Structure 1
Amino acid sequence: MLDIKNITITMMISFIIVVAIGPVFLPMLRRFKFGQTVRDDGPQSHLAKNGTPTMGGIMFIVAIFITALFRGRFDSDMMVGLICMLGFGLVGFLDDFIKIKMKRSLGLRAWQKIAFQIAISFYVAFYQYTSAADASQIMIPFTEMTIDIGILYIPIMMFIIIGTVNAVNLTDGLDGLASGVTVIVSLFFMLFAYMVAGNSDVGLLSAATAGACIGFLCFNSYPAKVFMGDTGSMALGGAVVSFAVLTNSVLLIPIVGIIYFAEALSVIIQVTYFRKTGKRIFKMAPLHHHFEQCGWPETRVVFVFWAVTVVMCWIGVFAAF
């Protein structure tokens, strides 16, 4: 049952926390010189963003955590969803910190990232597999059927969790893109959690995430005053994928999260094709940079990607309901 009052209050609290701490937190980022370094081989229009404060994802991570603390029941599902978000957010934070303060451009080493991500994804997958009797019964979109993947559930979910988190991370490349897309996706999972899965804890966590991202857009929409950094994008990836895992609806991610999926796929295609042929399919990857290189203004790319997400979430409604 959709609890409009509870959802509205949850979203408002999360939104207000972000808007309230922003004017305090942004000067702190500048003081500690947590500024973004834009790649020279990226779109030339982005060079003006050099020095813009990053790691702003801490703002909405704090808001989501505090909101969940006061609004949620903090039972197992709520706790696991928060751990997934905070765990991946911590990986992103370490990556950002090493890049910016320790001047190591690659951040965490590849094996370190993978090790952290495997540990967090195993925890979430194992929890769901052992605590939910129907966990291995994955719903098939557009049908009333489910598929039982049995013991393969854990490795398959680990792959999906890590893949989704990194896809959201790749989506964060334009002002307001990842945060805006995640608002829409979170609202979808909020409806799904309440009306289909009957999981009010995931519903509240989704609502808190949507509210926090709307608040963050006050600072992150074009022209951005702050970037979320890997801290924020990986935390959002952890949040979104936890909504899907905890409601047994991971096959909805490629539909409602089509932008995440397309961004990751564009990178995979570009790298694979270039290694085999020495040529590029896209002018630049991830996909949002390809459209920029085609002459689209940054704001147009973001608006179109938001619009595509809205349309796909409506399709997701038909797929799920």
Structure 2
Amino acid sequence: MNLYGFLQSLGIANPSGTGWLAVIFTFLLAWVVTWLLTPPVRSFALQVGWADQPNERRLNREPLPNAGGLVIYFGVLAALVLATLLRPIVIEGVLAEVLTILLGGSILVLVGFIDDQFGLPPWVRLFTQILTALLLISSGIKIEAPLGTPVDSLLAICLTVLWVVGITNAINLMDGMDGLAGGVSFITAMSLLAVSAQFETRAAATLLLAALGGGALGFLRHNFHPSRIIMGDAGAYFFGYVLAATTILGNLKVTTVFALVPPVLFLLLPVIDTTQVFVLRLMAGKNPLSNPGKDHLHHRLLAWGFSQRHTALTLWTGTIVSNWLAMQLQGMSAIAALVTIASIIALLSFTIWRRMRSL
């Protein structure tokens, strides 16, 4: 089988074009930039005091630099800018959607970084998340609800805001253990990338997910236990927002409740974790967004005797399974889903091997 036939068997929308080369280039560049940039940023963060102190939410016993979100953001941005310069004809048609999501992500990175260093009230963070969700809606990036009722437009706005704010916070709430949020984000980004690559109309999502996946993998090289740096709220907000936005870039239409199943399956672990945390904290009379505690899924596994590494690998495995199911529901061929999962496992294994070797 030649290269064209192989790409066609994977469901690539236009294997005879050059768009898939731009996607691979974007992924590799974001991966390398994030990988190489993290150590100097870590050293600078330690010098200026950008670090998380041990607290109820995190498991670190000493201050950890929390500027990883800036590295991820810069790696993703650098990859997208260079991809635009090198392949302007391929990128031009999706630039508006990419810039809209990057603008919202940039706002959240800034607010998250300020929160990391100085602390912000919960209402400020929530207001910013709603604002960036409305930014997507104003650009036509929203969950459609064509049910034939007078409140369809209002329902679409509410569903989009709920989805974006919910997923953004879900990824952030999972970022309490080395490698967990980064690994889950990488697996989800690569799975969504495999699905969006099947449709030429989802080129913006494909490009963004390639950059996000590369940035997540490069950061994991330094974030897998024992972590040398964490992403902080800046990185977690960025991951959550971009993942939430790209899941609805493919004109997601909700005519029945089952239309929401595939997007939820891609992000099933963060959704389950956040839901149970919110319910338990509300039942205890606590504010779910401002009362950190050890009530997440990874805390339960650690309490059962799992190590941090085994906990991360266990939850990564659960994420891979749920993403495989989501790919099946999206109509991906068996070979395309298998190659995607094998690639995810191979890249994660290589990253872990490099991290262990450095120790």
TM-score range, shorter chain: 0.7 to 0.9
Q: Which residue of 2 aligns with 1:6?
A: 22
In 2, Cα distance between equivalents of 1:21 and 1:55: 11
Q: Which amino acid counterpart does residue 296 of structure 1 have in structure 2? A: F
Q: Which residue of 2 aligns with 1:60?
A: 72
Q: Which residue of 1 aligns with 2:101?
A: 81
In 2, Cα distance between equivalents of 1:269 and 1:152: 24
Q: Which residue of 2 aligns with 1:207?
A: 210
Q: Which amino acid counterpart does residue 123 of structure 2 have in structure 1? A: W
In 1, Cα distance between equivalents of 2:250 and 2:114: 29
- The two structures, once aligned, show a CA RMSD in angstroms of 2.3
- Cα contact 1:168–1:233 (8 A) shared by 2: yes
Q: Which amino acid counterpart does residue 114 of structure 1 have in structure 2? A: L
Secondary structure at the residue paired with 1:188? Answer: helix
Q: Which residue of 2 aligns with 1:22?
A: 38
- Cα contact 1:85–1:237 (8 A) shared by 2: no
Q: Which residue of 1 aligns with 2:130?
A: 118
Match of 1:96 among 116, 134, 156: 116
- Cα contact 2:145–2:155 (8 A) shared by 1: no
- What per-residue deviation string (whole Å, max 9, x for no partner) do you get for residues 224-249 of structure 1? 00000001101111111111122234
Name structure 1 gaps, 5 residues minimum. 99-106, 139-147, 277-282
Secondary structure at the residue paired with 1:198? Answer: helix
How far is 1:32 from its partner?
Answer: 0.5
* Number of aligned positions between the proteins: 291
- Aligned-residue sequence identity (percent) comes to 21
Match of 2:177 among 171, 174, 177: 174
- The TM-score normalised by the length of structure 1 is 0.84
Structure 1 window deviating more from structure 2 (149-158 vs 203-212): it is: 149-158
- Cα contact 2:41–2:67 (8 A) shared by 1: no
How far is 1:193 from its partner?
Answer: 1.8
Secondary structure at the residue paired with 2:33? Answer: helix
How far is 1:91 from its partner?
Answer: 1.9
- What per-residue deviation string (whole Å, max 9, x for no partner) do you get for residues 274-320 of structure 1? 239xxxxxx94122112212221111111011111111111011111
Q: Which residue of 2 aligns with 1:103?
A: none
In 1, Cα distance between equivalents of 2:188 and 2:145: 22
**Greater than 6 Å deviation, 4+ residue runs:** none
Matches within 5 A, 1:268-279: 268-275=278-285
Q: Which residue of 2 aligns with 1:224?
A: 227
- The TM-score normalised by the length of structure 2 is 0.76
How far is 1:70 from its partner?
Answer: 1.8
- Over 3 Å counting, the alpha-carbon distance change for 1:241 and 1:197 in structure 2 is farther
In 1, Cα distance between equivalents of 2:154 and 2:323: 30
Q: Which residue of 2 aligns with 1:102?
A: none
- Cα contact 1:171–1:259 (8 A) shared by 2: no
